[in-house]
Amino acid sequence: MIPPAIEELYRSDSRRVFATLARLLGDFDLAEEATQEAFSSAVERWPQEGVPANPVAWLVSAGRFKAIDAVRRTGRFRDRRADLLARLEGVEQTNAARASHEIEDDRLRLIFTCCHPAIDPPAQAPLTLREVCGLSTDEIAHAFLIPPATMAQRLVRAKAKVRDAGVPFKVPSAADLPERLEVVLKVIYLIFNEGYSASRGESVTRADLSAEAIRLARLLRELLPDPETIGLLALMLLHESRREARTDSAGDIVLLEKQDRRLWDRRLIDEGCELVEQALASQRFGAYGVQAAIAAVHASAPTPAATDWPQIVALYDVLLRLDESPVIELNRAVAIAKRDGPSAGLAAIDAVLARGELTSYHLAHAARGELLRQTGDRAQAKAALQRALELAQQGPERRLLARRIDELARDGSTEAP
């Protein structure tokens, strides 16, 4: 039986322990084994010895010694034994020699490692999500809208590349940071999205992932206050401000127009809006800055009816010039429906679906079903919502879709023949 305190520490800090061990070992697999061994030692020893004053440091130290034992005991790492032992036994000297521009956070350092130019660009973000945050292959595949088997192969190849090419586990120099920023921002936002709207399971959100993404964005902003870094932080804060209003007491989803806006976190909204102004004032803003501006329009509306939908559509037009994403087109179509009516929005969604890029994206079918319902086409609305239900993997989303389908059936049964 694992003590609750250790189980909670594993949930909250195991990736922190892993990140530090990955830096020290230079090998994902060895670091993963050392992390698991360290927590196993904690389960055995802490109930008798007590929880140490600095649990994370204890776990890193335990993992380090477990790795040394593994290297000495097995031949699996024979070719790298001398290098690994020297690395592990020289930790203090390494720490003392850190360059002044290095980021004092191993998880952020690990993100830059996973985003190294030697790694294929399509694999950089998935590898970071797996190694920094511990997301499963299925969760990462959902975030990228590709089959889990394809994602698994991509991750295996990426880890092999890190190992075989000797990709360094360090933060790039200050001169090299800007060119690496785009991928790092993408990774942080994907981490946030998985926390803000979990890909599967019975919880709508995973607050730990959202908080981690915001924390990493704050650190990155301190290191490199680029307008897009500021824009991304603003975007995440504005979304996070609605967390408490997004579900009811039963854990079911509350859609934006039904949310109790008194539950929105005004502190986060004020900070987010201030950051939006900073990003836009720079005249060097990008896609994250524009998305943050859209979120700010929503956050500034006291009621759903007061939302400035023409402004939101105009911002989506700008956003599409910066990022021709089908998901952005879908969101723009929903905004068009709010501005011009459901038929206009439906035509825009159908145009996106006709290209085949979002045929497996449940939110596209859910949005189409809602607009079909608004136009009075209940049969087609039910078919679209049923398709969305087949694709959805998150428990609360599935319950919401099932309720919508039941409502359509009840409405149809009460109509006069």
Closest-CA residue to 221 (of 265, 167, 271): 271
- Looking at residue 100, its pLDDT comes to 32
* Amino acid occupying residue 291: Q
Q: Are 124 and 188 in contact (CB under 8 A)?
A: no
Domains and CATH numbers, the chain: 1-93 (1.10.1740), 324-416 (1.25.40.10)
- Looking at residue 199, its pLDDT comes to 54
Tens digit of each residue's pLDDT (9 = 90 or more) over 36-56: 999 999 999 999 999 999 999
- Looking at residue 367, its pLDDT comes to 97
- Looking at residue 236, its pLDDT comes to 97
Task: Give the pLDDT of the chain (417 residues) as one tens digit per residue.
Answer: 788 889 999 988 898 899 889 888 888 888 999 999 999 999 999 999 999 999 999 999 999 888 888 777 765 555 555 555 555 555 444 443 443 333 347 887 888 889 888 899 889 888 988 898 888 888 888 777 789 999 999 999 999 888 888 888 877 777 777 778 888 998 899 888 877 775 555 555 677 788 888 988 998 888 778 999 999 999 999 999 999 999 888 888 899 999 999 999 999 999 999 999 999 999 888 999 999 999 999 999 999 999 999 999 999 999 999 999 999 999 999 999 999 999 999 999 999 999 998 999 999 999 999 999 999 999 999 999 999 999 998 888 899 999 999 998 887 654 444
Number of residues written out for the chain: 417
Task: Tell me the sheet residues that pair with 394.
Answer: 201
Tens digit of each residue's pLDDT (9 = 90 or more) over 85-114: 555 555 444 443 443 333 347 887 888 889
Q: Which residues are CB-contacts of 415 (< 8 A; sequence separation ≥ 6)? A: none
Q: Are 205 and 194 in contact (CB under 8 A)?
A: no
> How far does CA 190 lie from the centroid of its chain?
3
CA distance 37 to 71: 14
How far, in Å, are 157, 184, 216, 301, 312 from residue 272 at the CA level?
Answer: 38, 20, 16, 15, 17
CA distance 168 to 387: 45
CA angle 226, 271, 258 (to 5 degrees): 120
Instruction: Provide the token pair at 380.
Output: 């087609």
- Looking at residue 99, its pLDDT comes to 33
Task: Tell me the sheet residues that pair with 201.
Answer: 394
Q: What is the 3-state secondary structure (H, E, C) of the chain?
A: CCCHHHHHHHHHHHHHHHHHHHHHHCCHHHHHHHHHHHHHHHHHHHHHHCCCCCHHHHHHHHHHHHHHHHHHHCCCCHHHHHHHHHHHHCHHHHHHCCCCCCCCCHHHHHHHHHCCCCCCHHHHHHHHHHHHHCCCHHHHHHHHCCCHHHHHHHHHHHHHHHHHHCCCCCCCCCCCHHHHHHHHHHHHHHHHHHHHCCCCECCCCCHHHHHHHHHHHHHHHHHCCCHHHHHHHHHHHHHHCCHHHCECCCCCECCHHHCCHHHCCHHHHHHHHHHHHHHHHCCCCCHHHHHHHHHHHHHHCCCHHHCCHHHHHHHHHHHHHHCCCHHHHHHHHHHHHHHHCHHHHHHHHHHHHHCCCCCCCHHHHHHHHHHHHHHCCHHHHHHHHHHHHHHCCEHHHHHHHHHHHHHHHHHHHCCCC
Contacts 24+ apart (CB under 8 A), 278-285: 278/227, 278/230, 279/227, 279/228, 279/230, 279/231, 279/234, 282/227, 282/230, 284/227, 285/227, 285/228, 285/231
Instruction: Provide the token pair at 83.
Output: 């290098």
